[in-house]
Amino acid sequence: MIEIRWHGRGGQGAKTVSQLLAGAALRSGRYAQAFPEYGPERSGAPVKAFNRLDTKEIRLHCSIYEPDIVVVLDPTLLHAKEARVTEGLKRHGILLVNTGQTPEEIRALTGFSGRIITLDAEALARSVGTRFSNVVMLGALARLLGDIALEDLESEFAKLFGEKALAINVAALRAGFSAMTERLGQKPLEAIS
Amino acid sequence: MRVATAPAELLLLTGAEAAAHAMRQLNPDVVPVYPITPQTPIIETFAQFVADGLCDAEIVNVESEHSALSAAVGASCAGARVITATSAQGLALMLEIVYIAASMRCPIVIAVGSRALSGPINIHCDHSDSMMARDTGCVQLFAENAQEAYDLMIMAQRLAEDRRVLVPVMVMQDGFTITHSAEPVALLPDAIVKEFVGEYEPLYSLLDTDHPTTQGPFALPDYYFELKRQQVDALEAARTVWLEIQRRFAEISGRRYEGFFEEYKLSDAEYVLVLLSSTAGTAKVVIDRLRRRGIKVGLIKPWVFRPFPARELARALADRRAVAILDRAISLGSWGPLYLEISAAVGRYLQKRPVLYNYIYGLGGRDTPPELLASVVTDMCNEADPTVLRYLGLRE
């Protein structure tokens, strides 16, 4: 089982991308759960969303305390003490951050000793005409996971977006996917699965 | 209840969406609702289905849950198939009319996202609201996950409308943990559900002016008692009808709900956990882990809380070393409601009784990770004192 925690701010679509990922994972033949940090939603406040992905039926119905992957959608959360983005993150896990900074700079900031991958998702989103960098990060994560098909994500998108928004979001998704391909080179994710 | 379907045939739905799909397929005539907090997304999703023309129910938006169920009772007495949904304070406000709906034998299905009652104001999951309604005369069904929430809604409609039963049926799913979490669900084809529940034919209808009836009159000391006895019989009949319905449901779905509770790794279990709803899923994972260490532990997860399956539960608990009953609600000044029922059942039916423990857990949405559930089994193995009420995950 792979457990993922998303950190964003209310309104940035952490919950939405977690559901899109779970829907695509299901299409790709995996069992999946997506759930937000429950409670009243406040725009701009730090929020979390979660995914479990497995090849077997998932029966756990509790929160995730030791994720394999943490995705940070908003780099300002790295400075927000209450967000605690690396809390419980497995030592051999992965910290994926939307930032223009380097992994070394993020390591200095968070103290996380495991694998750190950074991606300027905001710039990539802008380049395709959207402000929703969460979709770029979703594309990057899908590539990182390795067995979530881009077509399955796009099928999930088609349920959510109208024609024009669909084209832009698919472009953002693919931008993230390609950027991660460059980051990874030939190194897939077998370390945690 | 295991989902035996391949992932490709499953949809990713929240528990609330799954219940809304069941409502769409059941196609009630009237759905009176209070659409504002503490409503769940069940109604939001269902209202979208109606707006999209996917079913032709009449949604009646009212100013409170008290009014919602009052309108439901009126529509039901007029002969309509009626479903509503609520949660927490909403069910509390509805409660006066829940008793009336049950006594007037209205087969209304009420979908409940189980949540804590104020105060303090909370909104998160526990079973305080559902347990508050346990003496109303309704059937109460508890779902572990989104799949069960969907399945139980469909079975609930047929159970409520069976002429041997004719009482409201509440279908509980855990607030947020299930209502707002997305997971794989297998839906039945619309036509199969339609055929399974059939057309509702009311026994008496206020709109049938050729056969006028009086409904909801006074019943003073000369009749009230006898009418209550009839409600007892209705819930007794619900036991038989439930067993019939689950067999028929297995035929159309391949999903088996056998009896009144799910048994997980129970046959040789020396230690047993008994609990309702979503935490049962986590408990199964814990049981698998503990069994790998040689501890013989199993689970009982009741689907049916009202009518309470006392005899069947007592039989399932006979010859166990110890049983821990986990309650996500507390009868303040006493112990947990599930414990009290099981304690009475064991006392009534068993000569040789297992040691019974009662744990209160998860109030106000407090999370219950696997380690906490494992600690309960450790307590049982260590023969902890069973005469004290225990709390799981509480800071003291």
Residue B351 lies in a domain: yes
Given CB atoms, is A129 within the 8 Å cutoff of chain B?
A: no
Same domain, B285 and B233: no
Same domain, B270 and B229: no
Same domain, B289 and B230: no
Distance of CA A96 to the CA centre of its chain: 7
The DSSP bridge pattern shows strands B322-327 and A69-72 to be unpaired
Longest dimension (CA), chain B: 70
Q: Among residues B189, B224, B253, which one ends one of the domains?
A: B253
Beta bridge partners of A53: A2, A32
Same domain, B56 and B140: yes
Q: Do A23 and B182 touch (CB under 8 A)?
A: yes
Q: Do B10 and A26 touch (CB under 8 A)?
A: yes
Same domain, B235 and B107: yes
Domain range for B175 is 10-198+214-253
Asked whether the predicted pLDDT for residue A39 surpasses 90, the reply is: no
Confidence band for B330, pLDDT divided at 50, 70 and 90: very high
Chain A residue with minimal CA distance to B4? Answer: A57
Residue B172 lies in a domain: yes
The DSSP bridge pattern shows strands B109-114 and B261-264 to be unpaired
Q: Do B278 and A61 touch (CB under 8 A)?
A: yes
Q: What is the ipTM of this complex?
A: 0.93
What pLDDT sits at residue B2? 43
Q: Which long-range contacts (CB under 8 A, 24 or more apart) does B229-235 make?
A: B231/B102, B231/B103, B231/B105, B231/B137, B231/B167, B234/B105, B234/B137, B234/B164, B234/B165, B234/B166, B234/B167, B235/B137, B235/B139, B235/B167, B235/B306, B235/B307
pLDDT in tens, B200-210: 999 999 999 99
Asked whether the predicted pLDDT for residue A188 surpasses 80, the reply is: no
The CA distance from B321 to B300, in Å, is 15
Q: What is the mean pLDDT of residues A25-32?
A: 94
3-class DSSP state of A149: coil
Interface subset of A 50-69, CB within 8 angstroms of B = 57-63, 65
Same domain, B67 and B164: yes
What pLDDT sits at residue B309? 98
Beta bridge partners of B142: B172
Same domain, B268 and B247: no
The CA distance from A176 to A182, in Å, is 10
What pLDDT sits at residue A185? 75
Amino acid letter, A156: E
What pLDDT sits at residue A193? 35
- Whether the Cβ atoms of residue B73 and residue B104 lie closer than 8 Å to each other: yes
Residue B1 lies in a domain: no
- Whether the Cβ atoms of residue B348 and residue B108 lie closer than 8 Å to each other: no
Query: How close does chain A come to B174, measured CA to CA in Å?
Result: 10
Count of A-B CB contacts under 8 Å? 76
Which domains can be identified in chain A, with CATH numbers? 2-184 (3.40.920.10)
Candidates B270, B274, B277, B275; CA nearest to B291 is B270
Beta bridge partners of A49: A6, A36
Residue B78 lies in a domain: yes
The H or E element spanning position B290 is helix B279-292
Structure tokens that stand for B108 in this block: 């209304």
Q: Among residues B253, B281, B316, which one ends one of the domains?
A: B253
What pLDDT sits at residue B37? 87
Residue B206 lies in a domain: no
Asked whether the predicted pLDDT for residue A191 surpasses 50, the reply is: no
What pLDDT sits at residue B7? 62
pLDDT in tens, B82-99: 999 999 999 999 999 999
Mean pLDDT of chain B: 96
Q: Do B285 and A59 touch (CB under 8 A)?
A: yes
Same domain, B186 and B234: yes
Q: Do B369 and A30 touch (CB under 8 A)?
A: no
Confidence band for B6, pLDDT divided at 50, 70 and 90: low
Same domain, B231 and B309: no
The DSSP bridge pattern shows strands B182-185 and B11-14 to be antiparallel
* Distant-in-sequence, close-in-space partners of B182: CB < 8 Å, separation ≥ 6: A19, A22, A23, A32, A33, A34, A35, B12, B13, B14, B17, B146
Given CB atoms, is A48 within the 8 Å cutoff of chain B?
A: no
What pLDDT sits at residue B9? 81
pLDDT in tens, B263-303: 999 999 999 999 999 999 999 999 999 999 999 999 999 99
Same domain, B19 and B156: yes
What residues of B are in contact with residue A65 (Cβ under 8 Å)? 369
Percent of chain A with pLDDT over 90: 87
Asked whether the predicted pLDDT for residue A113 surpasses 70, the reply is: yes
Please tell me what DSSP assigns to residue B93. Answer: H
What residues of B are in contact with residue A57 (Cβ under 8 Å)? 2-3, 184
What pLDDT sits at residue A80? 82
Read off the pTM: 0.96
Beta bridge partners of B325: B274, B358
pLDDT in tens, B210-251: 999 999 999 999 999 999 999 999 999 999 999 999 999 999
Same domain, B127 and B173: yes
CATH number at residue B97: 3.40.50.970
pLDDT in tens, B36-73: 888 899 999 999 999 999 999 999 999 999 999 999 99
Candidates A50, A55, A48; CA nearest to A80 is A48
Same domain, B242 and B102: yes
CATH number at residue B357: 3.40.50.920
Residue B100 lies in a domain: yes
Q: How many domains are there within chain B?
A: 2
What pLDDT sits at residue B320? 98
